[in-house]
Amino acid sequence: MDFPACSPDMNPIEHVWDELDRQVKANHQPPRNLQQLLQMLQQEWQAIPQAFFTKLMNSMRSRCGELERKRGGHTHY
């Protein structure tokens, strides 16, 4: 396929980082130090359901197809 290799639409980890960020912000006060941030991130990482990762993996075929149709342009993902 001929599209930008660094497209965030094609990088599932970007969606995981986004989910982790949203969960930390929703469930915690801002951290007071680096150690507290690390604890929050670890706690929320463990709380992300396996179904989230499975759904993300299963969406890759659709993502590739849409990105190809858009010729590397923006997708709805």
User: What would the pLDDT profile of 10-54 be if each residue is shown by its tens digit?
Assistant: 788 888 999 999 999 999 999 999 999 999 999 999 999 999 999
Task: Give me the helices (H) in 1-77, please.
Answer: 12-27, 34-47, 50-58, 60-69
How many Å apart are CA 1 and CA 4, to the nearest integer?
A: 9
The pLDDT assigned to 67 comes to 80
How many Å apart are CA 30 and CA 36, to the nearest integer?
A: 9
DSSP three-state, residue 47:
helix
Q: In the predicted model, is pLDDT for residue 1 greater than 70?
A: no
- Read off the DSSP letter of residue 24: H
Q: In the predicted model, is pLDDT for residue 6 greater than 70?
A: no
